[in-house]
């Protein structure tokens, strides 16, 4: 009970500190803006730890953060191997293939009206397919290893990327296109100099949505048959072994990978579309 009381005290203390920081004279400094979410996160972890210990929650229901951290440190080589299998081989390769393919199809669809009318409904249909239905089939077609996971990812990221790119390519005003025409610019020149740059915010939107989809797809696909490694494999089997600390360690890996991946794409976007109003300071 004392631990639970301590959790309440910790929560109150963290709250007060954050209110002070966020409304006080230092609120505008970079350090304070960084400190507030960090304090919030640490307080949450602290409360979690104290409540789990205080109420004696069984480890198979919810392990304490300290236990998860210890498992993470002890199993770092297995976690790395799973990360490479799921993220690098499955998610990244699927992401690259899916996005490049969607981009190419979007260019084609933009060039011919026939394709645009035909392909968007097909893309729409693909996006509506439930992953739990397609994953077993793709495992059947492409085998148990990362190739089938990449295929699931391709299916998942294709549509958001396609729709965004097609929308982006249409995002130029008639005046701008007319101007290019008066310069005697060819289709390719117009595409590269005017329309693709204008489409960049949309394209990056698609890429950013795809980062998280890719990770989800790769992990869930591993539930439907996999070699004996990978984040999804470990999560699904560790639950059966009641090794919930391992499950949480893998969740941490997936969360870190997903956040960094998204962050990386967002950082590239900032450099490429520096001219866009949303990036003006």
Partner 1 sequence: MKKTLIGAAAVLGMMAPAVQAQDLDEVTLQLKWVTQAQFAGYYVAEAQGFYEEEGLDVEIKPGGPDIAPEQVIAGGGADVIVTWMAAGLAARERGVPLVNIAQPFATGGLQLTCLKSTGVETPEDFPGRTLGVWFFGNEYPFYAWMAQLGVDTDGADEDGVTVLKQAFNVDPLLQGQADCISTMTYNEYGQVLDAGYAPEELANFNYLEQGVGMLEDGLYVLEENLEDPEFEDKMVRFVRASMKGWKYAEENPEEAAQIVVDNDMTGAQTLDHQTYMMGEVAKLTAGSNGALDPADYQQTVDTLLSAISEDNPAITAEPEGAWTHAITDKALN
In the complex, the residues that contact partner 1 under the rule CB under 8 A are 1, 4, 55-61, 136, 139-140, 143-144, 222, 224-228, 233, 236-237, 239-243
What minimum distance in Å lies between the beta carbon of 273 and partner 1? Answer: 42
Q: Which two tokens stand for residue 100?
A: 């490049």
Closer residue to partner 1, CB minimum distance, 58 or 118: 58
Query: Do 218 and 94 contact (CB within 8 A), yes or no?
Result: yes
Closer residue to partner 1, CB minimum distance, 37 or 227: 227
What minimum distance in Å lies between the beta carbon of 96 and partner 1? Answer: 25
Which has the closest alpha carbon to 166: 128, 195, 208, 190? 195
What minimum distance in Å lies between the beta carbon of 85 and partner 1? Answer: 12
Q: Tokens 């998860």 map to which residue?
A: 68
What minimum distance in Å lies between the beta carbon of 3 and partner 1? Answer: 11
Closer residue to partner 1, CB minimum distance, 241 or 259: 241
- Return d(Cα 121, Cα 226) in angstroms, integer: 32
Helices 196-221 and 146-169: crossing angle, nearest 10°? 160
What minimum distance in Å lies between the beta carbon of 74 and partner 1? Answer: 12
Is residue 112 packed enough to be buried (19+ CB in 10 Å), middle (13-18) or exposed (0-12)?
exposed
Q: What is the DSSP letter of 143?
A: -
Closer residue to partner 1, CB minimum distance, 46 or 136: 136
Closer residue to partner 1, CB minimum distance, 18 or 226: 226
């Amino acid at each position: 009970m004392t631990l639970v009381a301590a959790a309440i005290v910790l929560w109150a203390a963290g709250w007060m500190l954050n209110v002070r920081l966020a409304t006080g004279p230092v609120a505008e400094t970079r350090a304070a803006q960084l400190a507030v979410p960090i304090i919030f996160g640490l307080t949450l972890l602290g409360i979690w730890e104290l409540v789990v210990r205080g109420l004696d929650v069984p480890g198979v229901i919810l392990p304490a953060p300290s236990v998860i951290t210890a498992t993470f440190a002890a199993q770092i080589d297995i976690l790395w191997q799973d990360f490479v299998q799921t993220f690098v081989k499955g998610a990244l390769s699927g992401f690259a293939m899916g996005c490049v393919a969607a981009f190419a199809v979007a260019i084609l669809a933009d060039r011919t009206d026939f394709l645009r009318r035909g392909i968007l409904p097909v893309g729409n249909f693909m996006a509506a397919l439930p992953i739990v239905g397609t994953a077993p089939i793709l495992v059947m077609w492409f085998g148990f290893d990362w190739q089938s996971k990449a295929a699931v990812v391709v299916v998942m990221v294709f549509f958001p990327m396609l729709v965004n790119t097609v929308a982006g390519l249409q995002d130029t005003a008639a005046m701008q296109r007319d101007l290019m025409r008066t310069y005697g610019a060819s289709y390719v020149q117009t595409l590269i100099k005017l329309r693709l740059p204008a489409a960049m915010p949309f394209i990056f939107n698609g890429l950013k949505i795809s980062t998280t989809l890719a990770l989800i797809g790769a992990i869930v696909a591993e539930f439907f048959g996999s070699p004996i490694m990978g984040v999804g494999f470990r999560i699904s089997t560790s639950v059966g072994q009641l090794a919930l600390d391992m499950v949480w360690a893998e969740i941490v890996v997936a969360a870190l990978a997903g956040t960094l991946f998204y962050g990386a794409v967002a950082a590239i976007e900032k450099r490429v579309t520096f001219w866009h109003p949303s990036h003006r300071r």
